[in-house]
Structure 1
Amino acid sequence: MAMGIAQKGSDSRSPAERSLLAGFTWAAISVAIFSGWFVVTRFSVTRELRIWDITAIRFSVGALALLPVLLTARLPARAWGLGLVFAVLWGAPFVLLVALGLQLSSAAQAASTAPTLMPVFSGLIGWLVLRERPGKPRLAGYAAIVAGLAILSIATAPANGAFNPSGLIALALAAAMWALYTLIFRRTGLSALQAAALICFWSALLFLPVYLWLGLGHLDHASMQELVLQGIYQGILMSVVAVITFNRAVALLGSAAATAMIALVPVAASLIAIPVLGEVPSLLASAAILIIVTGVVLAARPQPTQVEGTA
């Protein structure tokens, strides 16, 4: 009996609590990968490679890595159609928009724009289209996230000029597409791995022929080390690992809470920049980070209505 009590006490969390813990873990992995992605992508698009090269590397490597999933999954026709929609929302067009935003701004500004606006768009779309009215704490969280974004953008703006409006528009549009994807994915019944495979397949199928036909490639201008770095980060970490971990977070936490966690990307990026780049955030930037964290805590809290609706 003592052993039974010990076993019971060793895992006293309820299934709902374990699900939330797992969801936050998956989301944390996604945040870590997304944070590094802005730095890695910015590194190349401001040197020898172009946004077209980054997109081609990401989905060609990802499609090859995930091809066995599509060959063995026996997906219905409806799933292939949904995969095409996913590829439009979070595939090649999304990557091109973010890469354009990175080219016209900076890694810090881009990291504090697209991921931070995404949960806000997700909440607004869910409210207006799906009639999923957010509670007052979540609305307060969205307001705090937007306020923190505004302050962080000002704090990290380059001294020689203001934020490029074209870059901001590209990043905001990417955030809206990302948010719409999260709302659709959770209702499809597809697994995270299947969604990742379909996104890579359709993106490669639609983008690579255009990339090759128009001669957009500059891969021969980059070093082998840079190509390997981009191949691993874009093709494996972003196209495979990040998509799977983020989709798992959406499935376990819900689209609103999972997307709110992604708003921590600029926070993580700022922390990574301290030891790696020696960039210590200013007092104003630190205050903005604190506001964003507060907004994420409020926006990521599960709502009773959502728990009941998904039970």
Structure 2
Amino acid sequence: MRGFCWAGLSVTIFAGWFVVTRFSVTRELRLWDVTALRFGIGAVILLPVLLRGKRRLSAKEWREGLVYACLWGLPFVLAVALGLQLTSAGRAAAIAPTLMPVFAGAFAWIFLKEKQGRARWCGYLAIIIGLVCMVAGGVSAHGGMNPMGLIALMTAAAMWAVYTLLFRRSALTPVQAAALICFWSAILFLPIYIFGGLSRLAMASPSEIGLQAVYQGVLMSGVAIVSFNRSVALLGPSAATAIIALIPVVASLAAIPVLGELPSGGECVALAVVVGGVLLAARPARKAAKPSISATTRHTP
């Protein structure tokens, strides 16, 4: 139950992130500003975790954090932000989080030889069918989809899935992983952002900057990453990532009052299919039953 609560918190924050980010990148701010606020503020807030922890991180763990930052840090945020800019909040929230558990399950099966079970495979299939129907319904209702936006969101989903599988085997705590992702992403991006003249913060209102600073720097870089990592540790990567596929449902509902993006009837049906797939894919794998005492005694010489 604790794992489901952590995953639910992640879903809520992630879903709101698609709406909040779409709100700004279609106005004065650009994806560079959103990225700088997210990792710059996150790095400042979480830096004490790296410097004043109970133990010092080893060189291997710092390198591990750099890998995580390349998977779920700067490149991931830029890919999703590009998808948001070229599509819509509903579509972006439908594609990236929905494909992530499918990629995670497939990668775990191919590279880690993990058996997913018939129910999970049926869940993954339902998620894919729901996603295809959702995109098709969106095309008929809102027009064609930018191919570059679709590729960017699919790439983000694959990177997110790889990060999830790697973190399960990490010795880092959820907070340490979040701190390293923000630190390395800030080191890699902020010099380019500052000296490359990419900032448009002066053109945005103080309220918009404040909203992005809190949501990107505090909720996304701190609370969301930690809560998602906790859900992975408690539920396992397959179940935790499957629950993340509920993000499009929450994001589509939130986009109605905030952005005025009303889903079509076909998209609503597709969302229901995705929910059904999530319920199947999130079921824990069955464990082999232990032999009974009587059976053990009967076969003992």
TM-score after normalising by structure 1: 0.89
Matching of residues 154-165 of structure 1 within 5 Å:
154-157=136-139, 159=141, 161-165=143-147
- Cα 1:151–1:31 shift into 2, 3 Å: same
Cα distance change, pair 40–307 in 1 and its aligned pair in 2 (3 A):
farther
What displacement does 1:67 show? 0.9
Equivalent position of 1:206 in the other structure: 188
CA distance in 2, matches of 1:50, 1:283: 31
Alignment partner of 1:93 is 2:75? yes
After superposition, residues 136-155 of structure 1 pair within 5 angstroms as 136-155=118-137
Shift in alpha-carbon separation, 1:201–1:51, aligned structure 2, 3 A = same
8 Å contact 2:4–2:231 — kept in the other structure? yes
Which secondary structure does the structure 1 equivalent of 2:177 belong to? helix
Give 1:107's match in structure 2, choosing from 79, 89, 94.
89
Q: How does 1:48-197 map to 2 (within 5 A)?
A: 48-73=28-53, 74-157=56-139, 159=141, 161-197=143-179
Deviations 1:44-88 (A, max 9, x none): 111111111111110000000101101112111111011000000
Which shifted more, 43-52 or 80-89? 43-52
Which deviates the most, 215-224 or 168-177? 215-224
1:161 and 1:281 map into 2 onto residues whose CA distance is 13
**Alignment partner, residue 36 of structure 1:** 16
Identical amino acids, percent of aligned pairs: 61
Q: Any unmatched runs of 5+ in structure 2?
A: 291-301
* Corresponding residue number in structure 2 for 1:290: 272
2-side partners of 1:163 and 1:132: how far apart?
A: 35
Aligned-pair CA distance for 1:271: 2.6
Change (3 A) 1:277 1:51: closer
Q: CA deviation at 1:190?
A: 1.1
2:27 corresponds to which residue? 47
| Residue 27 of structure 1: aligned partner | 7
Distance 1:84 1:166 in 2: 26
**1:97–1:174 CA contact under 8 A, matched in 2:** yes
Question: Which whole-Å CA distance do the structure 1 matches of 2:208 and 2:232 have between them?
Answer: 32
The 10-residue stretch of structure 1 (279-288 or 213-222) with the greater mean CA deviation from structure 2: 279-288
Question: Which residue in the other structure is 1:5 paired with?
Answer: none
- For structure 1, which runs of at least 5 residues remain unmatched after alignment? 1-20
Deviation at 1:159, TM superposition (A): 4.5
Aligned length: 288
Separation (CA, whole Å) in 1 of partners of 2:236 and 2:289: 9
TM-score by length of 2: 0.92
Over the residues paired in the alignment, what is the CA RMSD in angstroms? Answer: 1.7
Shift of 1:148: 0.6
